[in-house]
């Protein structure tokens, strides 16, 4: 069919205000022997250079391989990569190659990727806004920004109301979080999702969960540190709410423990670190067997979003989709010339082939950068800027 001949890696970036964890993005560009071009993306949160280097390692496997033999090429890297299942650098780099390969296959056959997954189950994708609450600390700060989104047609929002608390939470911050959520519930018609960011021990997570469960959020995300399974078990026993997690779970098999032990209601695989489109699809199928919904994690750039939308269109247990477009800098918005769009709180699916987008290659050249993303010793990179107070 077509062998992968050219492999180009672009680090793009510019100082951002709302999403410091994606102040850089890594874009992969593959070109085949017969001239087809496909794009992938890899996440960079405080690991831009390690992922960049790992993309070069994956390239040694994919170079000169048939682009249509996606699963074969993925398994070949699995064979060589000894730490793949516990290395986010490796799974992220592999995901970019897998996504770019699918983009090319779609273009070869003049069809969107969702066609190869079984076709569309829906034409539009309900989304929730994230990253919108930069510099929000008080309830009135959150309300002002939330009302702006509501006027734009958004139907749902996610936010972290816990300020600078980590591991433990004190009563002042707990009361403030409760007031933030109450204010948004009483003064908007938005669905809301509460982000814990995997930052609390069991006792503090349970205190926060019990204080906020009465507001009936769509889900609470990563209530405890992600490596503390016993803490999650305690949270499940004590808090009556839906739990979502999965952005740090690196393949479908690693979801099984959460599913069979009833520790999760909504899984959140990230197509750019779980292994790509097929692994994200298989994760959804596995969750469906347990009656668990899917809300894919999607916090980086437009290639990731385009890939994720292809899955959202197809899977049967879709719940809602994360969106950062309202918080992106202009260059990131302009990386896509045409393709998917947001309309009245929904992603409208593109019918262009492959990922369904046309990339603006001018942005690939104008926003090249090198090095790690910005670091602030007073505010972790995973928080929305200006909220860790």
- Closest by CA to 273, choosing from 254, 251, 253, is 251
How far is Cα 47 from Cα 60, in angstroms, rounded to an integer?
21
∠335-327-331 over CA atoms, to 5°? 25
CA distance 145 to 128: 14
User: In angstroms, rounded to a whole number, what is the distance separating the alpha carbons of residues 358 and 337?
Assistant: 5
In eight-state DSSP terms, residue 240 is -
Query: Does the annotation count 197 as an active-site position?
Result: yes
Number of Cα atoms under 13 Å in the Cβ half of residue 45? 18
Cα separations (Å) of 340 from 118, 195, 322? 19, 26, 14
Beta bridge partners of 38: 30
φ, ψ for residue 197, nearest 5 deg: 60, 25
Structure tokens at 156: 């749902």
Cα–Cα dist 226/82, whole Å: 23
User: Residue 177: enclosing H or E segment and its boundaries?
Assistant: helix 171-187
Q: Return d(Cα 299, Cα 132) in angstroms, integer.
A: 12
Task: Report CA-CA distances (Å) from 57 to 10, 62, 69, 78.
Answer: 15, 9, 19, 12
Beta strands in 24-168 (DSSP E): 24-32, 37-42, 124-129, 156-159
H/E run at residue 323: strand 321-323
Active-site positions read: 197, 297
């Amino acid at each position: 069919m077509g062998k992968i001949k050219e492999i180009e890696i672009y680090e793009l970036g510019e100082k951002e205000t709302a999403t410091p964890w994606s102040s850089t993005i890594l874009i992969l560009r593959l070109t085949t022997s017969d001239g087809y071009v496909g794009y992938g993306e890899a996440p960079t949160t405080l690991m831009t250079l390690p992922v960049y280097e790992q993309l070069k390692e994956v390239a040694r496997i994919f170079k000169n391989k048939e682009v249509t033999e996606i699963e074969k090429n993925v398994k070949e890297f699995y064979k060589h990569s000894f730490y793949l299942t516990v290395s986010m650098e490796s799974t992220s780099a592999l995901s970019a190659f897998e996504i770019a390969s699918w983009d090319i296959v779609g273009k070869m056959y003049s069809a969107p990727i969702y066609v190869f997954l079984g076709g569309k189950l829906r034409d539009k994708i309900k989304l929730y806004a994230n990253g919108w609450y930069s510099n929000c600390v008080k309830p009135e700060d959150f309300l002002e920004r939330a009302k702006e989104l509501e006027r734009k047609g958004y139907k749902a929002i996610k936010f972290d109301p816990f300020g600078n608390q980590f591991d433990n939470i004190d009563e002042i911050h707990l009361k403030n979080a409760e007031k933030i959520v109450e204010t948004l519930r009483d003064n908007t018609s938005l669905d809301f999702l509460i982000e814990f960011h995997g930052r609390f021990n069991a006792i503090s997570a349970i205190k926060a969960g019990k204080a906020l469960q009465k507001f009936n959020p769509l889900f609470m995300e990563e209530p405890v540190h992600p490596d503390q399974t016993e803490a999650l078990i305690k949270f499940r026993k004590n808090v009556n709410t839906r739990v979502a997690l999965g952005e740090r779970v690196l393949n479908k098999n690693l979801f099984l423990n959460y599913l069979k032990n009833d520790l999760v209601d909504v899984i959140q695989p990230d197509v750019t670190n779980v292994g790509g489109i097929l692994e994200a699809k298989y994760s959804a199928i596995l969750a469906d067997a347990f009656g668990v919904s899917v809300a894919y994690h999607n916090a980086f750039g437009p290639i990731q979003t385009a890939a994720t939308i292809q899955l959202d269109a197809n899977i049967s247990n879709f719940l809602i989709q994360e969106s950062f477009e309202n918080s992106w800098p202009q260059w990131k918005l302009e990386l896509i010339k045409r393709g998917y769009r947001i309309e009245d709180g929904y992603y409208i699916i593109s019918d262009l082939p492959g990922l369904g987008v046309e990339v603006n290659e001018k942005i690939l050249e104008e926003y090249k950068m090198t090095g790690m993303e910005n670091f602030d010793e007073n505010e972790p990179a995973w928080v929305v800027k200006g909220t860790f107070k």
